[in-house]
Amino acid sequence: MSSIICPTVLAADKADFKKQVDTVSFARRIQLDFMDGEFVKTKSIDLKDAWLPDNTQSDLHLMYQRPMEYLQIILILKPHMVIIHAEAEADYVQMAAELNKNGILAGLCVLPETTIEGIRPILRSFDHLLIFGGHLGHFGGQADLSQLHKASEAKEINPNIETGWDGGANDQNAKKLADSGIDVINVGGFIQKSENPMAAYGLLDDLIN
Protein backbone atom coordinates (compact mmCIF):
# COMPACT_ATOMS: atom_id res chain seq x y z
CA MET A 1 0.00 0.00 0.00
CA SER A 2 1.39 3.39 -0.97
CA SER A 3 1.01 6.32 1.42
CA ILE A 4 -1.61 9.00 0.80
CA ILE A 5 -1.84 12.67 1.72
CA CYS A 6 -4.99 13.49 3.68
CA PRO A 7 -5.73 17.22 4.20
CA THR A 8 -7.30 18.14 7.53
CA VAL A 9 -10.02 20.56 8.53
CA LEU A 10 -10.01 22.19 11.97
CA ALA A 11 -12.58 24.94 12.33
CA ALA A 12 -14.11 26.91 15.19
CA ASP A 13 -17.34 27.88 13.38
CA LYS A 14 -19.55 26.79 10.50
CA ALA A 15 -18.31 29.45 8.08
CA ASP A 16 -14.67 28.49 8.60
CA PHE A 17 -15.60 24.81 8.36
CA LYS A 18 -17.18 25.33 4.94
CA LYS A 19 -14.23 27.42 3.76
CA GLN A 20 -11.69 24.81 4.81
CA VAL A 21 -13.67 21.91 3.34
CA ASP A 22 -14.01 23.79 0.05
CA THR A 23 -10.27 24.55 0.11
CA VAL A 24 -9.40 20.84 0.05
CA SER A 25 -12.31 19.61 -2.06
CA PHE A 26 -9.85 18.27 -4.64
CA ALA A 27 -8.55 15.58 -2.22
CA ARG A 28 -9.88 12.04 -2.36
CA ARG A 29 -9.72 11.69 1.43
CA ILE A 30 -9.86 14.30 4.19
CA GLN A 31 -9.82 14.34 7.99
CA LEU A 32 -12.28 16.51 9.90
CA ASP A 33 -11.10 17.41 13.42
CA PHE A 34 -13.53 18.02 16.27
CA MET A 35 -12.72 19.17 19.81
CA ASP A 36 -15.11 19.28 22.77
CA GLY A 37 -13.28 21.89 24.87
CA GLU A 38 -12.75 19.24 27.57
CA PHE A 39 -10.41 16.60 26.20
CA VAL A 40 -8.47 19.47 24.64
CA LYS A 41 -8.91 23.11 25.69
CA THR A 42 -9.78 24.40 22.23
CA LYS A 43 -13.32 23.89 20.90
CA SER A 44 -14.36 23.33 17.32
CA ILE A 45 -17.60 23.42 15.44
CA ASP A 46 -20.12 21.01 17.02
CA LEU A 47 -20.36 17.61 15.41
CA LYS A 48 -24.11 18.10 14.98
CA ASP A 49 -23.41 21.15 12.80
CA ALA A 50 -20.98 19.35 10.52
CA TRP A 51 -21.64 17.99 7.06
CA LEU A 52 -19.57 15.70 4.88
CA PRO A 53 -18.64 16.62 1.30
CA ASP A 54 -19.80 14.43 -1.56
CA ASN A 55 -17.37 12.23 -3.50
CA THR A 56 -14.74 12.38 -0.73
CA GLN A 57 -13.81 9.89 1.96
CA SER A 58 -14.25 11.78 5.23
CA ASP A 59 -12.54 10.66 8.44
CA LEU A 60 -13.72 12.15 11.74
CA HIS A 61 -11.02 12.70 14.38
CA LEU A 62 -12.86 13.15 17.67
CA MET A 63 -10.79 14.85 20.37
CA TYR A 64 -13.64 14.14 22.78
CA GLN A 65 -13.53 13.03 26.41
CA ARG A 66 -16.58 10.79 26.00
CA PRO A 67 -16.91 9.97 22.27
CA MET A 68 -19.52 7.26 22.71
CA GLU A 69 -22.07 9.95 23.60
CA TYR A 70 -21.94 11.05 19.95
CA LEU A 71 -22.53 7.66 18.36
CA GLN A 72 -26.01 8.47 17.03
CA ILE A 73 -24.79 11.68 15.33
CA ILE A 74 -21.89 9.72 13.84
CA LEU A 75 -24.24 7.10 12.39
CA ILE A 76 -26.32 9.84 10.75
CA LEU A 77 -23.23 11.45 9.20
CA LYS A 78 -21.97 8.06 7.96
CA PRO A 79 -18.27 8.95 7.57
CA HIS A 80 -15.60 6.71 6.07
CA MET A 81 -13.91 6.38 9.48
CA VAL A 82 -14.13 7.65 13.06
CA ILE A 83 -10.98 8.07 15.17
CA ILE A 84 -11.26 8.27 18.96
CA HIS A 85 -8.48 8.79 21.50
CA ALA A 86 -6.96 6.01 23.56
CA GLU A 87 -6.78 8.54 26.41
CA ALA A 88 -10.53 9.25 26.39
CA GLU A 89 -13.33 7.55 28.36
CA ALA A 90 -14.91 4.80 26.27
CA ASP A 91 -15.65 1.12 25.92
CA TYR A 92 -13.23 0.87 23.00
CA VAL A 93 -14.10 -2.62 21.82
CA GLN A 94 -17.83 -1.84 21.86
CA MET A 95 -17.32 1.49 20.06
CA ALA A 96 -15.24 -0.15 17.34
CA ALA A 97 -17.80 -2.93 16.94
CA GLU A 98 -20.71 -0.47 16.65
CA LEU A 99 -18.87 1.52 13.99
CA ASN A 100 -17.92 -1.57 11.99
CA LYS A 101 -21.47 -2.96 12.25
CA ASN A 102 -22.65 0.22 10.53
CA GLY A 103 -20.04 0.14 7.77
CA ILE A 104 -17.70 2.70 9.37
CA LEU A 105 -14.02 2.04 9.95
CA ALA A 106 -12.78 2.41 13.54
CA GLY A 107 -9.63 4.37 14.32
CA LEU A 108 -7.68 4.85 17.53
CA CYS A 109 -5.40 7.84 18.18
CA VAL A 110 -2.47 7.76 20.60
CA LEU A 111 -0.82 10.81 22.12
CA PRO A 112 2.97 10.78 22.66
CA GLU A 113 2.71 9.53 26.25
CA THR A 114 0.64 6.47 25.25
CA THR A 115 2.63 3.36 24.35
CA ILE A 116 1.61 0.70 21.86
CA GLU A 117 2.09 -1.94 24.54
CA GLY A 118 -0.44 -0.05 26.65
CA ILE A 119 -3.15 -0.42 24.00
CA ARG A 120 -2.25 -3.98 22.97
CA PRO A 121 -5.48 -5.47 24.42
CA ILE A 122 -7.70 -3.31 22.18
CA LEU A 123 -5.55 -2.73 19.10
CA ARG A 124 -6.89 -5.71 17.15
CA SER A 125 -10.40 -4.24 17.40
CA PHE A 126 -9.40 -1.23 15.30
CA ASP A 127 -8.84 -0.70 11.57
CA HIS A 128 -6.57 2.35 11.91
CA LEU A 129 -4.02 3.73 14.36
CA LEU A 130 -3.44 7.50 14.27
CA ILE A 131 -0.07 8.44 15.74
CA PHE A 132 -0.14 11.96 17.11
CA GLY A 133 3.08 13.92 17.07
CA GLY A 134 2.08 17.58 16.99
CA HIS A 135 0.18 20.29 18.87
CA LEU A 136 -3.22 18.89 19.81
CA GLY A 137 -6.11 21.03 18.64
CA HIS A 138 -4.00 23.38 16.49
CA PHE A 139 -2.54 23.57 12.99
CA GLY A 140 1.21 23.73 12.66
CA GLY A 141 3.91 22.96 15.18
CA GLN A 142 6.90 20.67 14.97
CA ALA A 143 6.41 17.02 14.11
CA ASP A 144 7.76 14.78 16.88
CA LEU A 145 9.30 12.09 14.69
CA SER A 146 10.42 10.13 17.75
CA GLN A 147 6.88 8.71 17.72
CA LEU A 148 7.37 6.94 14.39
CA HIS A 149 8.41 3.65 15.99
CA LYS A 150 4.76 3.17 16.95
CA ALA A 151 3.85 2.37 13.33
CA SER A 152 5.95 -0.80 13.15
CA GLU A 153 5.06 -1.78 16.72
CA ALA A 154 1.35 -1.55 15.93
CA LYS A 155 1.70 -3.64 12.78
CA GLU A 156 3.48 -6.37 14.72
CA ILE A 157 0.35 -6.70 16.87
CA ASN A 158 -2.21 -6.10 14.12
CA PRO A 159 -0.62 -6.67 10.67
CA ASN A 160 -3.75 -5.42 8.88
CA ILE A 161 -3.98 -2.09 10.67
CA GLU A 162 -3.69 1.11 8.66
CA THR A 163 -1.39 3.70 10.26
CA GLY A 164 -1.82 7.46 10.15
CA TRP A 165 0.22 10.46 11.28
CA ASP A 166 -1.13 13.74 12.62
CA GLY A 167 1.00 16.73 13.55
CA GLY A 168 3.40 19.02 11.73
CA ALA A 169 3.54 17.15 8.42
CA ASN A 170 5.15 19.21 5.63
CA ASP A 171 7.51 19.03 2.66
CA GLN A 172 10.50 18.52 4.97
CA ASN A 173 9.26 15.34 6.62
CA ALA A 174 6.56 13.77 4.40
CA LYS A 175 8.95 11.30 2.76
CA LYS A 176 10.38 10.29 6.14
CA LEU A 177 6.85 9.64 7.39
CA ALA A 178 5.99 7.53 4.36
CA ASP A 179 9.27 5.60 4.50
CA SER A 180 8.66 4.86 8.19
CA GLY A 181 5.46 2.95 7.46
CA ILE A 182 2.82 5.69 7.74
CA ASP A 183 -0.04 4.91 5.36
CA VAL A 184 -2.07 8.11 5.79
CA ILE A 185 -0.27 11.44 6.30
CA ASN A 186 -2.71 14.01 7.66
CA VAL A 187 -1.69 17.54 6.72
CA GLY A 188 -3.20 20.69 8.19
CA GLY A 189 -1.46 24.04 8.06
CA PHE A 190 0.94 23.23 5.22
CA ILE A 191 -2.04 22.86 2.87
CA GLN A 192 -4.74 25.04 4.49
CA LYS A 193 -2.41 28.03 4.94
CA SER A 194 -0.75 27.74 1.54
CA GLU A 195 -1.34 30.35 -1.16
CA ASN A 196 -2.03 27.43 -3.49
CA PRO A 197 -3.45 24.51 -1.48
CA MET A 198 -3.74 22.20 -4.49
CA ALA A 199 -0.09 22.79 -5.42
CA ALA A 200 0.98 22.15 -1.81
CA TYR A 201 -0.98 18.89 -1.84
CA GLY A 202 0.57 17.92 -5.17
CA LEU A 203 4.08 18.63 -3.91
CA LEU A 204 3.62 16.34 -0.92
CA ASP A 205 2.02 13.65 -3.06
CA ASP A 206 4.99 13.75 -5.43
CA LEU A 207 7.46 13.52 -2.53
CA ILE A 208 5.98 10.31 -1.14
CA ASN A 209 5.19 8.47 -4.39
CATH code (residue 42): 3.20.20.70
Q: At residue 138, does pLDDT exceed 70?
A: no
pLDDT score for 2: 84
Average pLDDT over residues 11-39: 95
pLDDT score for 140: 56
Q: Which tens digits make up the pLDDT trace of 25-38?
A: 999 999 999 999 99
Q: Which tens digits make up the pLDDT trace of 100-121?
A: 999 999 999 999 999 999 999 9
Q: At residue 74, does pLDDT exceed 90?
A: yes
Average pLDDT over residues 6-22: 95
Q: At residue 71, does pLDDT exceed 70?
A: yes
Q: Which tens digits make up the pLDDT trace of 160-171?
A: 999 999 999 999
User: By percentage, how much of the chain surpasses pLDDT 90?
Assistant: 90
Average pLDDT over residues 177-197: 96
pLDDT score for 209: 87
For residues 26 and 12, give the distance between their C-alpha atoms in angstroms, rounded to a whole number.
22
Domain range for residue 56? 4-208
Burial track 177-203 (b if 16+ CB lie within 10 A, e otherwise)? bbebbbbbbbbbbbbbeeeebeebbeb
Q: At residue 20, does pLDDT exceed 60?
A: yes
For residues 106 and 111, give the distance between their C-alpha atoms in angstroms, rounded to a whole number.
17
Q: Specify the number of domains making up the chain.
A: 1
Burial track 28-63 (b if 16+ CB lie within 10 A, e otherwise)? ebbbbbbbbeebbeeebbebeebebbeebbbbbbbb
Q: Which tens digits make up the pLDDT trace of 192-203?
A: 999 999 999 999
pLDDT score for 136: 64
CB 77 within 8 A of CB 49: no
Q: At residue 135, does pLDDT exceed 90?
A: no
